[in-house]
Chain A
């Protein structure tokens, strides 16, 4: 079972997060302050860490920095009410792998934790495969079985991102940040949906099994496992 250590001082927030993660099959340990959290992180070697920035005893970023100095490479999701770009950058520079601003949706937190736990290996392969889909990363061509898919550059990047994280929920915020490199919430809220709709139209042809799924209120999923 995957073990996650949550270092969060607010008991109510911690309770909701622990319940949601437990429902998803994770084993969660909770620590309400920085010093205790750092001790637990060192002693119990969890698979992932969720660390709040403002903690009693020791600041969350200091906890992460201390772990990184000990050469602990455990993936860390930073939680914070400080959402300015400079704060995010600082959080990532101090050793965080991802940054989630409070208040957040639980589904967003789970999706990001799963993404951290299943980070794609930085492989040097030139062809990417997921189910019937195949991407040639050199020629920038895409195929579904025998059928060639004509993709625009942005669609290619989007499909590549999804194939590297197949069978994993991808929230709109994650897609905006990673594929579109957006640092803000666009005024047009259905921006991702329109692009995804066009990609789905190209990937899931008539009579073919649907691969790209819209998870209502949460995001999108490239399902290749049957």
Chain B
């Protein structure tokens, strides 16, 4: 069965086809060589016959018989034919019995059958001959056995057999080796893919260090599997998070309704209970909505709205929206814009990102403090910097704040569901920008924006950090959340 599969394999069939084509080519080449040699020998023989017949025709008739006899005696290989006949066709000298009927007497060399007096070979030799009628009516016939070409063809045939058969076998052997190697690789891939399908998400395709298309394909598939594993793990985590975080508001709603049903004595009390329950359900819905949006952004399904976006306008607008909120809290909110900056992105999502950062900064800056929103730019890059005089994000929490539903102890009593920075990180990643969280004193978060290239650079890196964000230290112990795999 395996042999049958092997013989039926594409690689082997291709090898067979290549070998057959090679064999055909070699046969054709040898045939051409044979034809060229044969042609050359016949032309050479014809020239010699013409020379000889001219020479003998010019001799005096008395010397011709001796000359023919000498000519034949000197022919050690027995390939020469010569005959002198009288006008009636009777042989006077030479080794030819009679003048062949088909032979024209015009001196032109042609292929004929000549009857030799003594037949040395067991087959009719191939002879080139010419005949000429001499003065006095005598007929001179000169010929030459060109059977050498048969010898040559047999030599060529032997060479062909000796050369072609090994070459053909070598081709087949190479094809078989390649076929077996490819089949082994494919079989190994099949087995591993079966294991992945069966649920072993840590399995990867074999990846040699050679730079062949198969290895490159394996590399790409492994990258895809990395991303899928990360996403599935994140999804599992999200499932747990949802279960936990939805239970809290839903429990509150349930308890409120339960207590209201048994204890509410007046319409006003019942309204109060219903308001509490509605608030709990609203929070649950807000969590679901935020998670769906997060999934939508993380799955790169929000590329449709990409275009040129004026970042400076977004900063001014966010400042305009949050200025009264900050003023209410007695927090100074200022904006400083270096110059106009255009980026390639989704305006609504970028607005949401900056709004989220400013929202957090205002929320966690004590009264009397300051929040500053800045846009600093060079030719190729720009920074959106949100800094505040609050507590900032300490080192232990830098990675955690990007996780879904993470609520720091100091945030426990502030409203929110703990998805703001997750959304920020996802939007930054979608755009191929970078999110940098600086250590205290004060809060400082920067988005490193690329203004040089159009379009986001999708992340392909494998990461063990939640949602494909890789972390590393940059200058001043800042925490960097990448939207791409390359180092800055």
Contacts and interface: CB of A to CB of B under 8 A. Distances in A.
Interface of A: 83-86, 101, 103, 152-154, 180, 183-191, 194-195, 197-198, 217
B359 interface: yes
Interface stretch (B192-200, B261-269, B285-293): B285-293
A197 B286 CA distance: 24
A194 B416 contact: no
Contacts, number: 57
Closest 6 CB pairs of A and B: A183-B348, A187-B359, A194-B324, A184-B352, A187-B420, A188-B359
A216 to B, nearest CB: 9
B356 interface: yes
B321 A85 contact: no
Contact of B275 (A180, A183, A217): A217
Contacts of A194: 324-325, 328
A189 B359 contact: no
Contacts of B359: 186-188
Nearest to B348: A183
B219 to A, nearest CB: 33
Given A185-B289, A188-B363, A189-B415, A85 B305 contact: yes
Nearest to A154: B320
Contacts of B258: none
Contacts of B321: 154, 180, 191, 195
22 contacts: A83-B289, A85-B348, A86-B301, A86-B302, A103-B285, A154-B320, A154-B321, A180-B321, A186-B355, A187-B355, A187-B356, A187-B359, A187-B416, A187-B420, A188-B359, A188-B415, A194-B324, A194-B325, A195-B321, A195-B324, A197-B324, A217-B275
Nearest to B279: A217
B360 A187 contact: yes
Given A83-B292, A195-B324, A185 B286 contact: yes
A188 B320 contact: no
Interface residues on B, range: 20 to 34
A83 B420 CA distance: 18
Given A185-B290, A187-B360, A191-B321, 18 more contacts: A83-B289, A85-B296, A85-B348, A86-B304, A103-B285, A154-B321, A180-B321, A184-B293, A184-B348, A187-B420, A188-B325, A188-B359, A188-B362, A188-B363, A194-B324, A194-B328, A197-B324, A198-B324
A197 B275 CA distance: 22
Contacts of A184: 293, 348, 352
Contacts of B362: 188
Nearest to A190: B325
B198 to A, nearest CB: 33
Interface in B283-331: 285-286, 289-290, 292-293, 296, 301-302, 304-305, 320-322, 324-325, 328
Interface in B340-378: 348, 352, 355-356, 359-360, 362-363
Contacts of B415: 187-189
B296 A84 contact: yes
Contacts of B292: 83-84
Contacts of B352: 183-184
Contacts of B360: 187
A28 B363 CA distance: 45
Contacts of A188: 322, 325, 359, 362-363, 415
A154 B363 CA distance: 22
Contacts of B304: 86
Chain B interface main SS type: helix
Contacts of B285: 103
A197 B352 CA distance: 23
The DSSP consensus for interface residues of chain A is loop
Contacts of B320: 152-154
Nearest to A199: B324
Contacts of A190: 325
Contacts of B325: 188, 190-191, 194
Contacts of B290: 185
Of A85, A86, A183, A187, the most chain B CB neighbours within 10 A belong to: A187
B28 to A, nearest CB: 63
Nearest to A187: B359
Nearest to B281: A103
Contacts of A85: 296, 302, 305, 348
B384 to A, nearest CB: 17
A189 B363 CA distance: 12
B108 to A, nearest CB: 92
- Which of B275, B289, B321, B360 is most buried by chain A, counting CB atoms within 10 A of its CB? B321
Contacts of A152: 320
Contacts of A217: 275, 278
A222 to B, nearest CB: 19
A205 B250 CA distance: 42
A86 B301 CA distance: 9
Contacts of B296: 84-85
Interface in B374-425: 415-416, 420
Contacts of A183: 348, 352
A84 B349 CA distance: 13
A187 B360 CA distance: 8
Nearest to A155: B324
A149 to B, nearest CB: 16
Contacts of A185: 286, 289-290
A118 B305 CA distance: 31
A188 B302 CA distance: 24
A187 to B, nearest CB: 4
Contacts of A180: 321
A86 B302 CA distance: 8
B242 to A, nearest CB: 17
A85 B297 CA distance: 11
Contacts of A86: 301-302, 304
Interface in B409-459: 415-416, 420
B158 to A, nearest CB: 76
Nearest to B323: A152
B67 to A, nearest CB: 107
A194 B363 CA distance: 14
Interface in B121-159: none
A20 to B, nearest CB: 15
